Amino acid sequence: MSKLPVVYVRGYAGTTSGIDAQVEDPFYGFNLGSTHVRVGGSGEPLFHQFESPLLRLILDEDYHLLVQGSQADYLSRQPDGRVPPDSIWIHRYYDVSASTWGEKPQAFRLERAAEDLLELIELLQRKTGAPRVHLVAHSMGGLICRSLIQKIIPDQRPGRHATDYVARLFTYGTPHGGIQFDVGFGLFERLRDTFGIAGAEVFGPRRMYEYLTPARDTAPKGPPKGWSPLDVPDHVFPNERIFCLVGTNPDDYGAAFGLSSKAVGAKSDGLVQIENAYLPGARHGFVHRSHSGRYGLVNSEEGYQNLRRFLFGDLAVQADLLHLKLPHDDPEVVWQAETRLSVRGLPIAMHEQLAAHHCPIQLGQPEVAGTADRPVPLVTTYLSSRASRPTETMRYILQVRILSLRQRRGAFQFFDHLEQAADFDDVLVVDVGHLDHGFSAWVVWSSELPVPLRDYVPQGPPLTDEDPELGSWVATVPLPERARRFLGDHAAVRLSVSDRTVF
């Protein structure tokens, strides 16, 4: 797969002092790593040296930094088509709003930042010869990217499409649905949106409507009834090209930033609520990280491994639960699922959607399908054949837990409850490899293995491919017999593996 320029777009800096601090960093913070990782129930920080997403792309993917005093000046001096496309760039949109350059700072406006991003992309296309760029954004940076895609390109480049400029968009903790608070009965949001405190009105529905809607479609009275900031029409930008990394740890953000996590609630990364960090049609990953700080999404191994595989992985793997027939003899019982996904060779879990992290998957509730509580597909990950050894398959595991709880008038009842006891708990081991003219997969439930998992080597023929199309593979894996006895005779996990399009 050919390399494309990567453009990082940083998030919200707040007041002028925050903006000044951000522009003093030559890489807007994307060069910051970490040595802390919080694991286990004790909450004790353990040492893990993560270099930074910027440095890791240089080490792992042979990318280049070409700043040389000023990336803007450097680019302007280079002949067209001579700058390496496998290069990293920072969208320094806050520079014009800083008070440290001796000029009168401009007030920040999100649409202006999106316009400047379009100019940067067009400059990179001309100087590198690359057809498109990858965008990697943290927090509000993702909203700048969406304004570019949904408003600025349609308004300012009629006849062009967002895919003429952007190959893939990866967002860390972006408030795609805005930022709401669990306290104040809406008062805090009204004050923020009315008075524009430190520019934070960009996270309210009216401003989001303004910068996400093309001029031709904008209603003068503001967002019409039923409008949602979470909607990215597929014809505007294919949702399969977007990945939302969702943080589920509010505590470590709150420790650094005071009352924020208490204001937005436990079901958040400390600043952005889980349901607002997730675009229903996009690919996604849930990791137990906070919005920013030493335990944040951006400077984490979990975030980087999801980023690297989404941008450069050559295989897409999806999984979903099918044909569950949940027992409905007791209307007070609710059903949930938990998933955890790990890839061989990595020291972290790529995805964790757990009740303990306030994000279990609600089962038997079709009205919430396609939301963070009921994602479709259940899990998506990406694999890289370049990252695996030639003699090995690409292996990942998907832990699936199904549990039930008694709920009465909105409150859980525990008189017959056993904490952490699941009705079904098993690990699906998936090995993807190449066979003949395509790829195949061997699948087994961990409970059926006769040896420890590390000693397991797939034997025999792979699963039968249910999809005759070249470049894709689909198989339905029944749940173990003991689970099908109460979850339905046809309860299964459907797996699909497909080649990814080269953009």
What are the tens digits of pLDDT across the range 378-410?
899 998 877 656 667 889 999 999 998 888 777
Residue 362 has a CB neighbour count (10 Å cut-off) of: 16
Q: Is the pLDDT of residue 233 over 90?
A: yes
Mean predicted confidence (pLDDT) in 451-472: 88
Is the pLDDT at 332 greater than 90? The verdict is no
Instruction: Please check the confidence at residue 140 and state whether its pLDDT lies above 90.
Output: yes
389: Cβ contacts below 8 Å, ≥ 6 apart: none
**pLDDT confidence band for 114 (50 / 70 / 90):** very high
Q: What's the average model confidence in pLDDT over 283-306?
A: 94
Q: Is the pLDDT of residue 260 over 80?
A: no
pLDDT at 41: 54
Beta strands in 259-350 (DSSP E): 283-287, 315-322, 333-343
Distant-in-sequence, close-in-space partners of 323: CB < 8 Å, separation ≥ 6: 488, 490, 491, 492
Q: What is the mean pLDDT of residues 341-368?
A: 87
Task: Band the pLDDT of 118: cuts 50, 70, 90.
Answer: very high
Q: Please tell me which of 151-165, 281-295, 454-468, 489-503 the model is most confident about, judged by mean pLDDT.
A: 151-165
Distances (CA, A) of 73 to 29, 66, 67, 91: 21, 11, 9, 14
Average pLDDT, the chain: 89
| pLDDT value of residue 256 | 47
Mean pLDDT, range 38-67, rounded to an integer: 85
440 close to 462: Cβ distance less than 8 angstroms: yes
The listed range with the strongest mean pLDDT (75-84, 93-102, 380-389) is: 75-84
pLDDT of amino acid 366 = 59
Choice among 11-25, 187-201, 316-330, 366-380 with the minimum mean pLDDT: 366-380
List, as one string, the DSSP characters of 154-204: HHHSTT--GGGTEEEEEEES--TT----SSGGGHHHHHHHHHTGGGGGGGS
Residue 20 confidence class, pLDDT cut points 50, 70, 90: very high
Q: What share of the chain is helix, strand, coil (3-state, %, to 5)?
A: 30, 25, 45
Across 154-182, average pLDDT: 95
| Confidence class for position 259, pLDDT limits 50, 70, 90 | low
Residue 258 has pLDDT above 90, yes or no: no
Helix or strand (DSSP H, E) at 206: helix 205-212
Distance CA 148, CA 110 (A): 10
- State yes or no: pLDDT of 18 exceeds 60: yes
pLDDT band at residue 199, thresholds of 50, 70 and 90? confident
H helix count then E strand count, the chain: 12, 20
Span 48-57, mean pLDDT?
A: 94
Least confident of 76-80, 82-86, 358-362: 358-362
Inter-residue contact 147 to 111 (CB < 8 Å): yes
Of 14, 53, 482, nearest to 289 by C-alpha is 53
Q: What is the pLDDT of residue 392?
A: 78
Is pTM beyond 0.85? Reply is: yes
Binned at pLDDT 50, 70 and 90, residue 43 comes out as low
